[in-house]
Structure 1
Amino acid sequence: MIPFDVTVLSARPDALSVDRTVCDVDGSRFAVRLDVTCVASEPVVAGLRVSVRLGETDDPGWLVPGAFYGENRVAGCRVRYPRFTRDAPDPALLESAEWGLRADRCATPAVFAWDREGGAALVTTEWSPLGQAGVGLAMDGEHPVLRLHFPYREEPVVYDGSPNPLPADTPAFEWYPGRTETLRFDLHVLGPDRHAYAGVLCDLHRRTAPVDADTVPWVSVEDAAALTAWGLYRWHYVAEDAVLLETAAFDRHALGEHGDRQAMHVSWISGVPYAYALLRHGRRVGNDSYVDAATAVLDNIANHLTPGGTFWGQWTRANGWNAGWTPDRRRVHARTLGEATLFLTRAVALGGPPQWRAAVVSNLDVAVKGQAADGSFGAGYDVATGEVLDRNGTSGLAWIPALVEAAALFDEPRYLDAARRAGRFYAGAVEREFLYGAPEDVDLAPSSEDGYLAIMAYVSLYEADGADEWLALARRAADWTLTFRYTYDVDFPPHTLLGHYDFRSRGADQASPANQHLHSYGLICAAELARLGEHTGETYYTASAEENLACFRQFVARADGDFNAYRGMVSERFYQTACYQPKGMLLTLSHAWCVGVLLLACEARLG
């Protein structure tokens, strides 16, 4: 076992006595119990730090699931959030060579790192007898140091979702003479393979399966489909513009349309995927109003292409069709385009009109034309010419499933050839465990959404030709994506909305290290994740897909007034930590994509 140190913080070291019990579970996982007693003659205020110091390396490969990935923020990223660097770090810019984080920022309260010979992980729980726990990472010379804190320490500064850091938050525990508290954590000894984190998280997932998983959802899959179809149609669809508005405010009386975002992205946060889901639902249940609404939205998007041949990024009431949220107004984002193309292809497969097919072909031809010799797609495209403006990040993965499905639907082998070349190019990023650049709003940050693209891409390739290389990459992509998925139920204060409604967070995803809130976007690939479980026989994937769908069949408004929303509304943000809003709050906006991905996942389940 790798040795660990226990340090008393904020008090004299001899104020606390620490007795250790270590149980060798399987030769690589060691269950540790610390019995800590106050031996001072008067009360002391103190915390504890557990540290593991590894050997030398210049690349520790930090991983705090859901919260920290390697350096975490590449140097050129426009969005500011915590970054690890040893090159003159400036905490005012959220840069540091050491970080402490509270446990509820973590999808699993754990920290992983490697040296040149192997690695280690420290894993704990959200709460301990000393209060909320925390994780940490630091470099001691050339040696990575993994940390646990009891109670947590957020240092050197606190990230609250804004680019301006808050002062460090370092609570301590009040000990009285003779008082003993017991702390528990696991220490994992890892080999040199940096994908070894997957085995740790998979094992933890199996050991902590909730006994009441069937009682978590508020509604059945069938009821969730009916509610979300109504919500999308009633609150987000605007017939005169043939759009799905991105947001609808809960408080209709006070805010009315002024609280609704008068805009529609063509994909991602609105648009094609959710119109497709509504179309599919409407046809299944025989609701012509839903079918007509979905068809109108898809017609609107398909009939308005850029001069360069792609979809636009967004429509707004004020300015019409435009590039979306990218700072360069000439640039449309590959992920937004690729995702819209994929779901319009699926709509064509349901028997859509010729203009839908023409729009799909136009977008795919732009992507194929811009594909580089190495197989990479663009990350951004010029609205005027369709030329590639940049290839930063891995958002080009979004084109792969669209190409695969269109190749089969249109009998177009060159699309599948392009998808295979891209699959081999992006394999390097999957193997390096760092995917980034998918959402328009976090620039080059790694995010759960990057993982969803990779799962969809490699599952589609495997299902197209059955090659083992694609299945291996799909598994690796899923393992990385599931680092964002919460393996426990966050303890919400009972006075908060999430606490009062007993919201269960297991199965939800952290959006990204930059956007630290729980979101439901993983439902967009729930079907692919479940099929991956079937292809591999790995119940970890199928169970995770089930938990994801169960989690977000909570907080679907069942009737007007349910959690202050209207029937069929679904929020985007569940605040599980101190970021953007206090822990336990809920964003009081219904988002088209949140309603839509749940409808999509339900329809996939219902067939």
Structure 2
Amino acid sequence: MRSIASLISIVLISGFSNIFEVSAQKMDFELNVKNPGNPAEKHSLKLSSLGLLEAESEIPLRVKLFIEKIDGGELLKFEITALEDAYFNLSGKYSLSNYTYENAQLLLPGFWYRKNLRSPQDAPSARVSTDWLVREDRLSTPLTSAYDPISGKGTFLMRTDLIENLALTTHDRGEVILSGGSDLGALGFGKSQGNTFLSFSFPYSEAPFSYIRKLTLAPSVTSFHFLEKGAVKEISYRLENFESLDFSDFVSRVWHKSFDLMKPQALKNQKFTDHEIKSLLTQYFKSSYMDLGELKGFSGAHLETETCESVPILEVGFIGRVLLNAFNALQYGEQYNDKELVSMGNSVFSSYEENGFNAHGFIREYIDYRKNEEPDSYSIRRQSEGIYALLLFLNYEKSKGRQHVNLEKKVLNLLEQLKALQNEDGSFPRKFKSDFSLIDETGGSSPSAVPPLVMAYHYFGKGEFLESAREVALYQEKFIIAPSDYFSSTLDADCEDKEASLYAATAMYYLAQVTEGKERDHYRDLAKKAAYFTLSWYYTWDVPFAKGQMLGDLGLKSRGWGNVSVENNHIDVFIFEFDEILDWLGQETGQPEFLTFAQVIRSSMREQLLPHENNMMGIGKVGYYPEVVQHTAWDYGKNGKGFYNDIFAPGWTVASIWELLEIGRTTGFFEN
């Protein structure tokens, strides 16, 4: 990296042409200076011919801007020198004069897509405000960006410093002074005179609200960094413009630039082998197994992180994944001669074969035995995830020479029932009742039906299931992938989310397993487009934690973990087989970035927070992988950044990590 002196010489030799070039784009700056116990003083700064950002009145800091031309853009470097002890917050706006706000499609990766209009009123969206400034640790890559579909041009502003340190504050709203040195800033966007601007702040500010809890918008916050007289603080950003075909292409280009600039690497010094991790996860199976009379299963939802005591709730599909966990227990038990696991797995499937389907043929997907409640509400996602596990089981049993004719009939009947729910446009309703009346007719969850439909086509040899899957693919292409409208896949939120694009990519991956030629190539290309949106949710960097925040004290590296959704601003290990899809895309397209990032994900998720003897990772029992990992100033209800929520669902996290370690399960199914 060039020294400050060389940067100054660049400015001097060029006659400040670069500075004036950026200035012409209407960059505006503001410096807030706080005297403890008093409201901060706001100073508008103007760029001088010497590169100084000057205020109309005297300020206790000297702020200088250096601009260096780099490939594809400009590096903006701010040098802040304290002329006397000072508490400051520096912010700026970069005006995109040709991007009208009405048309602009905005991207804060992992947090904001277009204008977040799929999100509810109490989550961040353009309905609440046109202007937003958010902490960098909310973002999977610390950048803000905008795309103009009229001109096909896009712009991003990325923080380029190492963001390693974080200081605590005593309050989370208003003007707050950081308790020590901190690297964390903020990025955002907004509307001015009908046009769009990109914005930044150092240290962090959040406005007009701070999103501190699920569906909870809190008052704004502005933090202040202390500089001792004579001390210097430097902050840098990369500003770049490029053309894109559409918003989908823009997202893919931003991801590639994020990958190239952040250079995420796989975590080294892994402690456990895959087999050792599975052995630890089996402790979850053995500890959470429940015999509830008519049904058997694993306690996987609504447990307390502190105790992990079983809760008599059985949930097929997200979030409990009872049947998938039963299959994993059975397969592992037979492989390693663990009779207890084999007995548990077989007992679960036997109980669901006998008592796990209702009178209408649907899987009884959620039963709360504490309250004796079984809602008449079914989802295409949970039903599909149940069928997926059942077909894995049936296919495995057939390979062992064991037949389950009655269960096959029930699965076939269920598939026929679901086909009856399929709309003419190929979509499935998100939620429905057992009498086929609709609760939520939106089609965002439709891709989740494709894997079991394709599997059923292969297992039963019935072409009608493949045709049904193809109809979903047509719907996906027209209404989800082409318009880049990924939303409403997860069941505990209704908004833009990671799982919608992940399932869209997965659906196309499955169709590519059973098709050939141009049709297969088309599904591959669609999987790639959807995968870029999925990738945009996964962290390319390691967010900082303050001392005393447990996740930081544990040494958590966030690279490779995925933000969940706009509504649920935490990271988790939702991956299942998406890493294999990335491997496949890398091999099919010749793009090694996919392969590299798949390895980043594997290395980061597999064991970092795995509770084991001598390091329980803040969880009550061995093998219960945590769920709500709160990496930013947000919580699901309790505890905040650096900790877990007090309630979690290890059913799906264990299933996800297990599938992360199961290389070749899908391709093996279709080769059988």
* Normalised TM-score (structure 1): 0.89
Distance 1:22 1:425 in 2: 47
Distance 2:312 2:93 in 1: 51
User: Match of 2:88, as an amino acid?
Assistant: V
2:591 corresponds to 1:538: yes
Q: 1:80 to 1:211 in 2, by over 3 A?
A: closer
The answer as to whether partners of 1:497 and 1:585 remain within 8 angstroms in 2 is yes
In the other structure, the counterpart of 1:572 is: 627
In the other structure, the counterpart of 1:363 is: 414
Cα offsets for 1:543-596 (capped at 9, x unmatched): 222222222211112227623432212111211011113321134656111122
Q: 1:450 to 1:114 in 2, by over 3 A?
A: same
In the other structure, the counterpart of 2:37 is: none
In the other structure, the counterpart of 1:326 is: none
The answer as to whether partners of 1:508 and 1:519 remain within 8 angstroms in 2 is yes
Percent identity between matched residues is: 19
2:241 corresponds to 1:204: no
CA offset at residue 146 of structure 1? 1.3
The answer as to whether partners of 2:89 and 2:202 remain within 8 angstroms in 1 is no
Q: 1:140 to 1:342 in 2, by over 3 A?
A: same
Which of 114, 124, 131 matches 1:98? 131
User: Match of 1:586, as an amino acid?
Assistant: Y
Cα offsets for 1:49-83 (capped at 9, x unmatched): 242424243232111111112221437x4x73111
2:218 corresponds to 1:182: no
Structure 2 matches for 1:83-482, cutoff 5 A? 83-85=125-127, 95-115=128-148, 116-117=150-151, 118-124=153-159, 127=163, 131-175=183-227, 179-192=231-244, 193-194=246-247, 195-210=249-264, 213-215=267-269, 217-238=270-291, 241-247=295-301, 248-252=303-307, 257=309, 260-270=310-320, 271-303=322-354, 304-320=356-372, 322-323=374-375, 330-351=376-397, 353-383=404-434, 385-428=435-478, 429-442=480-493, 444-466=494-516, 467-482=520-535
Q: 1:164 to 1:206 in 2, by over 3 A?
A: closer
Distance 1:34 1:112 in 2: 20
CA offset at residue 332 of structure 1? 1.0
Distance 1:388 1:367 in 2: 13
2:668 corresponds to 1:604: no
Which of 602, 606, 609 matches 1:555? 609
Distance 1:245 1:43 in 2: 54
CA offset at residue 597 of structure 1? 1.3
User: Match of 1:363, as an amino acid?
Assistant: L
Alignment RMSD (CA, Å): 2.6
SS of the residue aligned with 1:363? Answer: helix
Which of 56, 63, 70 matches 1:25? 70
Q: How many residues align?
A: 580
The answer as to whether partners of 2:88 and 2:225 remain within 8 angstroms in 1 is yes
Consecutive unaligned residues of structure 2, counting only runs of 5 or more, are 1-20, 33-41, 46-54, 165-180, 398-402
CA offset at residue 470 of structure 1? 0.8
* Normalised TM-score (structure 2): 0.80
User: Match of 2:611, as an amino acid?
Assistant: A
User: Match of 1:214, as an amino acid?
Assistant: K
User: Match of 1:278, as an amino acid?
Assistant: A
Distance 1:283 1:207 in 2: 46
Cα offsets for 1:452-496 (capped at 9, x unmatched): 211210111122214222111100111000111011111122322
Larger Rg: 2
2:557 corresponds to 1:504: yes
The answer as to whether partners of 2:629 and 2:643 remain within 8 angstroms in 1 is yes
The answer as to whether partners of 1:103 and 1:109 remain within 8 angstroms in 2 is yes
Cα offsets for 1:361-410 (capped at 9, x unmatched): 22321222222222112222221x23555431410111011111110111
Distance 2:28 2:330 in 1: 59
Distance 1:379 1:61 in 2: 26
Cα offsets for 1:16-42 (capped at 9, x unmatched): 554433344333x4333222345x677
In the other structure, the counterpart of 2:547 is: 494
Q: 1:360 to 1:180 in 2, by over 3 A?
A: same
CA offset at residue 347 of structure 1? 1.6
The answer as to whether partners of 2:431 and 2:439 remain within 8 angstroms in 1 is yes
2:88 corresponds to 1:45: yes
User: Match of 1:156, as an amino acid?
Assistant: P
Q: 1:62 to 1:363 in 2, by over 3 A?
A: farther
SS of the residue aligned with 1:69? Answer: strand
User: Match of 2:642, as an amino acid?
Assistant: G
The answer as to whether partners of 1:21 and 1:32 remain within 8 angstroms in 2 is yes
CA offset at residue 103 of structure 1? 0.7
Q: 1:404 to 1:587 in 2, by over 3 A?
A: same
User: Match of 1:468, as an amino acid?
Assistant: D
In the other structure, the counterpart of 2:118 is: 74
